[in-house]
Structure 1
């Protein structure tokens, strides 16, 4: 009985070591630093005027919009948008206005969209830690990708 217990214990230790070694070691803080450097370089290279939010998000308000809405994570918004990687490749673009709750999108949008009002346009440079992190949501967006969105806010409910 003791031999079987030891054998089982050895099996779990070896299995843990094997699976532990095969996984990527993800350090969100380190990745945030890498992303910040990429965004700063992108801003300089493209001569952009962007502001850094306390979250690590960079944004450029192109048009502020009008109104006095208290937009937050529970708001439902209607937008048009285009999403690109920093190399300029487009991974998504709305074909028509779409409506959704800001609680259902990546954190970078939840933080960035409330910075404008309806009729406004904003450019969001979203570090991977406020987007999909070290996961790829599908073809066109590799893990740890910084995302570049231009969003037109049509309406808020």
Structure 2
């Protein structure tokens, strides 16, 4: 991360998710059209179930589900839990859209605002830890008429096989992230080269000769944002960004790091999700995130509960 002189900021890098129509089924369809589409989706799903002699239960939300593996002693799902799932996602004609690795459970925040398709969030509410369900999700609880993708067409109904692997609280997630940062610093021989203040790792890599920013300074920076595995999420290249500190325009970890710098300086920051994009938004299929960002339907390129490396 490189700190430059001040300019006016033209955008926002805060990790606030804005979804125009994907999380509410009435935004992109008129009421009469929505009612027709709900009926069409239901007819298509019921037709599929009947044709394949499947006995599925309809939930009040509009999804259908089968209980594939039950666990009567498992922990129930509560609002604001962090859920880790293994999954496969198909269309009704059997086309595989995406499936997770057997060893990598995908997290998302359960609060009816943090996952697409919305029908999945309704579905997991019915599950216990260790159970496997199959959900039949109508398009009106998924992507509606969205078709700017090669993954599926407009008004697609989905089948999702979901195993609920683990349920955690945010506090448990944050504690594990602190431990993960410590392990990473030790492995990379960084633990004695920088400093940690309330879980934010800071290492000055080039001392600046200019002035230090204050709490409300406007700053211009170049940066590279990565996950700890080296995957680049975002970088400015030759187009630095400008924004005002303490104005909800940058995540807390970045702002705290900048306040330690001087103009012309460079630094390395490693931050837990709570100082970055926190629960963010989870997207299934995960590969669709880039399309939704491109089409200005979501504004977070960072997956939920991921540590960030910024330079």
Report the TM range for the smaller structure's normalisation.
0.7 to 0.9
Residue 43 (structure 1) shift: 0.9
Give the equivalent residue in structure 1 for 2:277.
132
Give the equivalent residue in structure 2 for 1:118.
263
Query: Which residues of 2 match residues 101-116 of structure 1 at below 5 A?
Result: 101-102=244-245, 103=247, 104-116=249-261
Residue 70 (structure 1) shift: 4.2
Of 41-50 and 115-124, the range deviating more from structure 2: 41-50
- After superposing on structure 2, the runs of 4+ consecutive aligned residues of structure 1 that deviate more than 2 Å are 20-24, 26-32, 67-71, 136-141
Residue 22 (structure 1) shift: 6.2
- Distance in 2 between residues matched to 1:87 and 1:28, nearest whole Å: 22
Give the equivalent residue in structure 2 for 1:84.
226
Q: Are the aligned partners of 2:220 and 2:242 in contact in 1 as well (CA < 8 Å)?
A: yes
- Distance in 2 between residues matched to 1:123 and 1:136, nearest whole Å: 25
Q: 1:21 aligns with which of 59, 77, 81?
A: 77
Residue 75 (structure 1) shift: 1.4
Q: Are the aligned partners of 1:67 and 1:118 in contact in 2 as well (CA < 8 Å)?
A: yes
1:60 matched to 2:203? The reply is: yes
- Distance in 1 between residues matched to 2:259 and 2:250, nearest whole Å: 13
SS at match of 2:77: helix
**How large is the RMSD of aligned CA atoms in angstroms?**
2.4
Give the equivalent residue in structure 1 for 2:72.
none
Give the equivalent residue in structure 1 for 2:3.
none
Q: TM-score, normalised by structure 1?
A: 0.73
Q: TM-score, normalised by structure 2?
A: 0.39
Change (3 A) 1:100 1:70: closer
Q: Are the aligned partners of 1:43 and 1:50 in contact in 2 as well (CA < 8 Å)?
A: no
- Distance in 1 between residues matched to 2:174 and 2:240, nearest whole Å: 31
Change (3 A) 1:29 1:122: same
- Distance in 1 between residues matched to 2:200 and 2:175, nearest whole Å: 12
Residue 23 (structure 1) shift: 4.2
1:142 matched to 2:303? The reply is: yes
- How many residue pairs end up in the alignment? 131
- Distance in 2 between residues matched to 1:81 and 1:39, nearest whole Å: 20
SS at match of 2:205: strand
Greater Rg, structure 1 or structure 2? 2
In structure 1, list runs of 5 or more residues that go unmatched: 1-13, 151-157
- Distance in 1 between residues matched to 2:200 and 2:170, nearest whole Å: 14
- Distance in 1 between residues matched to 2:267 and 2:170, nearest whole Å: 26
Which protein has the bigger helix share? 1
Residue 64 (structure 1) shift: 2.4
